[in-house]
Amino acid sequence: MTDFFSLLDNDVVGFDLDHTLCRYHLKETSKLIYESFAQYLVEHKGYDKDLLNLTPTTWDFCFKGLVVDLEDGNLVKLAEDGTVLRATHGTTDLSTEEIIKHYGPKREWKHFNSLNTSFARSAKYYLYDNYFDLPGALLCGRIVDMLHEWGNEVNSDFWKDMVAAIDHNYNTSAFREDAGTYFPNVKRDPGRYLQTCSESVKSWLWSMKNAGKVLLLITSSHSDYCRLICEYILGKDFEELFDVVITNALKPGFFSLKPQQRSFKNLVNDVESEDLPSLDKPGWYSQGNWMHLHELLKTMTGKPEPKVVYFGDSMRSDMFPASTFGKWETVMIVEEMEGDCVPKSDAAKSKEGQVEPQEKKGKFEESMKSPSTLSNQWGSYFVDVHRSGGKDEDSQKLTWCCHCIHKYSTMAIPSVEHIAKGKRALPSGEDKAEFPWKEDEVAQVERTTRVMDSLTKNKQSQ
């Protein structure tokens, strides 16, 4: 990450949608996602209905950045060098001795190099790096527990059932067909799961638009779900805000695949139609690739190499491919910073507890933690307290997730709200080049950068 970053230096500002522009009520959404997967496994794959029973204690296991080893049912939290900081078998903690038994005295996870260099999916492991995936980590752990109770061997076969559950709930036709559990519930009561964008975020987006920035929306969500979200969080006129909307982008392939491997498609009534050999005008498209988009951006900006910055929440789908293949600047949304490092924004505070009146909440909802806060079982998303050998003193080790944020994002912020709050309208026309950052804007950018840098300095000083 850089010491200072200005959006004004960029010609194009792009956004992911889910958990980036659109923040979710994480407690409600995570519970719904878990139940949507578990319900499918119970009803269609014959799993014990006890999978549907959750308590606040079991929910503490749900932690972003875990990797599940599909060959043995272990879940691991990795350090920046690929060593295992913490691990469980199912949901049961492995002791230091058990970790060494599994991974050797150096605690090396054997698939780290593959994951660290490509972020590609594998038949041998799965990285839980975003909130749509995250409840699956808890479900995987509980399935392994259940297999042991049944006396069954733990191997990667259970993952086939998990993939079927994911496809049943998230496939591109599920929204239109009211299939699965997830989409029907969000359609019926969007306010239970989605947070509307604050007025400061809306004003910030429009100010960039009015200042001549090209605004992009690139999401792997299908067009019908994207429309529901955007109308709810931004308003019915959201299409006027974005110059180009790309849905079902199938990231990271949108960035990593060549044009002939993934062409753009037109949309007719939310159904994909013919392939497009190139993009010749702004609009709403499906699938595609960053190279054809880049050619369109050249035309729209009148510049041979337009500067692009992209906001996203997933290292695998957004940060790594956008910076590696597209050479874009990237801003990562890291909600965990609100729990670990940065005070919550006023908007985040005001939205807490808005989902249901307190008297209507059950015991589970009252005491259930938000997935973005610290886990008693897994600790911090950014660092881990580690005691090595016979030393009496604890030391901090950076997590692999924190290392990746440093490496692949220009900047990290807890939410779009944190960078949009307090902004005045950007002037348009000839005056825009002289527009200065306000002091509080500079302070916010510097503060979020310093938060991450300080973690590195603490580690290096050990």
For residue 293, give the CATH number of its domain.
3.40.50.1000
pLDDT digits (tens, 9 = 90+) for 114-160: 999 999 889 999 999 999 989 999 999 999 999 988 888 888 889 99
Based on the domain organization, do 224 and 258 belong to the same domain? yes
pLDDT at position 66 over 70: yes
Section 163-192 average pLDDT:
94
Identify the domain boundary among 167, 188, 209. Answer: 188
Say if 358 falls within a structural domain.
no
**Confidence (pLDDT) at 5:** 74
Query: What are the backbone angles phi and psi of residue 279, rounded to the nearest 5°?
Result: -105, 125
Based on the domain organization, do 247 and 278 belong to the same domain? yes
Based on the domain organization, do 229 and 319 belong to the same domain? yes
The pLDDT-based confidence of 427 (bands split at 50, 70, 90) is very low
Based on the domain organization, do 218 and 145 belong to the same domain? no
Distance in angstroms (rounded) separating the CA atoms of residues 307 and 287 = 22
pLDDT at position 364 over 60: no
Using CA atoms in the order 423, 428, 431, 435, what is the torsion angle rounded to 10 degrees? 20
Say if 39 falls within a structural domain.
yes
Assign 411 to helix, strand or coil: strand
Based on the domain organization, do 219 and 248 belong to the same domain? yes
Section 249-271 average pLDDT:
95
Q: Which residues is 228 bridged to in the sheet?
A: none
Say if 215 falls within a structural domain.
yes
Say if 362 falls within a structural domain.
no
Q: What is the residue whose two structure tokens read 């014959």? A: 46
C-beta pairs of 150-156 under 8 Å, 24+ apart in sequence: 154/72, 154/73, 155/70, 155/71, 155/72, 156/70, 156/71, 156/123, 156/124
Percent of the chain at pLDDT exceeding 70: 82
Based on the domain organization, do 153 and 217 belong to the same domain? no
Based on the domain organization, do 281 and 165 belong to the same domain? no
Minimum mean pLDDT range among 45-49, 59-63, 415-419, 455-459: 455-459
Based on the domain organization, do 213 and 307 belong to the same domain? yes
Based on the domain organization, do 430 and 292 belong to the same domain? yes
Domain that holds residue 146: 26-66+87-95+108-188
Section 422-446 average pLDDT:
36
Identify the domain boundary among 188, 210, 226. Answer: 188
Based on the domain organization, do 207 and 267 belong to the same domain? yes
Count of structural domains within the chain: 2
The pLDDT-based confidence of 435 (bands split at 50, 70, 90) is very low
Say if 101 falls within a structural domain.
no
Whether residue 109 contacts residue 78, with contact meaning beta carbons closer than 8 Å, is answered with yes
Say if 365 falls within a structural domain.
no
The pLDDT-based confidence of 391 (bands split at 50, 70, 90) is low
Mean of the per-residue pLDDT values of the chain: 85
pLDDT digits (tens, 9 = 90+) for 303-362: 999 999 999 999 999 999 999 999 999 999 999 988 655 445 454 454 444 444 444 444
pTM over 0.85: yes
pLDDT digits (tens, 9 = 90+) for 263-299: 999 999 999 999 999 999 999 999 999 999 999 999 9
Based on the domain organization, do 313 and 232 belong to the same domain? yes
Catalytic residues: 16, 18
Assign 135 to helix, strand or coil: helix
Based on the domain organization, do 275 and 424 belong to the same domain? yes
Assign 267 to helix, strand or coil: strand
Distance in angstroms (rounded) separating the CA atoms of residues 409 and 67 = 21
**Confidence (pLDDT) at 437:** 35
